[in-house]
Structure 1
């Protein structure tokens, strides 16, 4: 061993230098004539009769055992203290010691191959580096990729793992860091990764829906009374009474549309609508502008039964009203339900008698 002490000047094995250490250690063992024994090529001599060794057999066996002990000693001395734990119960067997270290530091698993491929593909030439140095670094990184392949590693498996790498590297860095730990706990099978992507996508959609619903609940609870029913705790789009009224209005329009289509063939269409509400809508636009801040409520009913004996009328169309001002009053309906007005104003009607429009009529106390 003393004849080769100058060859043991390289760093001892630690948790991160196995690649360089294994090359230096193998070179030293070769120079000492011990590598064939450590690699398993030089097997222990076997006697024809173990109970009666010949002198030649005894000499060969003793020489082999000396070399075995020497190789085991070199391996034990050339690893750091935290690496000696891998030699438990095998510290006199250099073949098992070498295999144990390789199994720990160069195990052919998916995570190791991922890191090796990533290291290979991230190599960049520095300003002061020669092209030959770049070639050497690439060759070393490629050799590491090869070392981490299983014994029966096929091109199909390589294609699959490269596909998976491309899928994960396409993610933003924050998602990539999150998924890499999750995926590399197993292997880099494409089906496994695709399933993980689908599961993650579904979970994110679910989380987004929950967040939206929570934000909507907070906004509703913090808002004022509903503009339609006057109750607190929800806004008009979430109001059940408002949704029910919309549904009923749509059903009436559908029924009315079918009736008009059936009678359209019996008489020619007249040039103007006979509905007092539509006439008022037209006249209000011609006599006085409607409120610019209120959009047309296309879901509401445009038919208005104007009763000349009624004190006030109601309409959902704020744009029909002139001189509009906010006013909230309780209104009791025929089914004893109570709704609340939003405002009050006047409406201009243009009566039509025997097909001819008459002078405009101003009606007051119309609520919305």
Structure 2
């Protein structure tokens, strides 16, 4: 715009024409100036305008002779950046799809190897030592109402602490594992958690409570 307005007075008509040209570019304007410069009888200011156009410096590549909006280096860099972003998006989608397939395959493999609880009971059974399961609900109700039901029994044959009392647990989470009794009968635990055990007093002194962790809740015990 400044170059056009700097045209001498004798180029007033050309100035108006150029200002109305929406498709005018710096290269086109420079060509016009060079053409005017080469015309016979061109006024001295015209070469100065041509030199001014030539001395423009690009703010992107720091080269002279063109502006940033006409910079081919900038256009190439923009194209490469778009191609890189497209490649990154494609790689991300490919990795996401592969991870999903691997997770699905791992889940299927786990399901095939685990089998049903009855099938895996022999390999993953927790031993209840000498404990037995009560055969009838009447016997079970009678036993739970007795003082013995509140006792903790020491059994070196048992591989884990276990109790039928759900209300004893201070912390609790569902946990299902097969448990083999002394008569080879197998039942399943319902949960796992922590139980606070209060030892009986000795000589009028009450020992501190003990927290038992990883206690199995076995309703059929």
Higher relative CO (Cα under 8 Å, sequence separation at least 6) belongs to 2
The TM-score by the shorter chain falls in which range?
A: 0.3 to 0.5
The structure whose residues are more often helix, as a share, is 1
TM-score norm. by structure 2 comes to: 0.32
The structure whose residues are more often strand, as a share, is 2
TM-score norm. by structure 1 comes to: 0.20
